[in-house]
Amino acid sequence: MNRIYLIGFMGSGKSRMGRELSKKMNIQNIDLDKFIESSMFMTIPEIFAKYGEEGFRKIEHEKLMELSAFENVIISTGGGAPCFYNNMEVMNQTGITLFLNPTIEMLVYRLLRSKNKRPLIEGMGKEELTPFIQEKLKDRLPFYEQATLVIDPNEVKTKKVIKKIEKQITKRKKKQAKKKS
């Protein structure tokens, strides 16, 4: 087994899905944003305020590279993580990527009710949030769609996701065995 990366827009359910998969598969789950916060001794909003988005993305890349060396782990990434530097390539080379892809309406609903501070949408109401999500998704989808698996978190049960992951792990092992022989 290697790494499983959960990717998708903010509010897509990556952290929740990571916790559920972790329990069912009995492997460690690491939330990339929480990992960054604990190593920087700052919250994500504080990092954005101090270093700007560009500085945050550099830190995020460094921490993702660190985590890509961990074994038997589920990594829940931030919404923008796959879109900067060569992060998507790194994740696809070192593990299985799952793109959680809820509807825009579901994202708006979740983000408006979120208790998490999210620097990119702070202070936005529904009228600003919907076009913001549509625009950002347009930019991010080419990265997200490079994922090994695309999951609709509104329709798929954790057990089905685990079966899809296990199928991908088996495929990878067979591919690696062929390369060695």
Type of residue numbered 82: P
Rounded Cα gap, residues 94 and 115, in angstroms: 32
**Calpha distance 180→131 (Å, rounded):** 49
Q: Give percent of the chain above pLDDT 90.
A: 62
134: which 2 tokens? 């549509």
Phi, psi of 106 (to 5 degrees): -65, -40
Question: Under a CB-based contact definition with an 8 Å cutoff, are residues 82 and 14 in contact?
Answer: no
Q: For the chain, what are the domain ranges?
A: 3-176
pLDDT at 60: 97
**What average pLDDT does this structure show over 158-170?**
77
The H-assigned helical ranges of 120-157 are: 126-144
Main-chain phi, psi angles of 101, to 5 degrees: -130, 70
Q: Which CATH number fits domain 3-176: 3.40.50.720, 3.40.50.300, 3.40.50.2000, 1.20.140.10?
A: 3.40.50.300
Q: What is the pLDDT of residues 107-126, one digit of tens each?
A: 999 898 876 777 778 888 88
**pTM, entire model:** 0.88
pLDDT digits (tens, 9 = 90+) for 59-92: 999 999 999 999 999 999 999 999 999 999 999 9
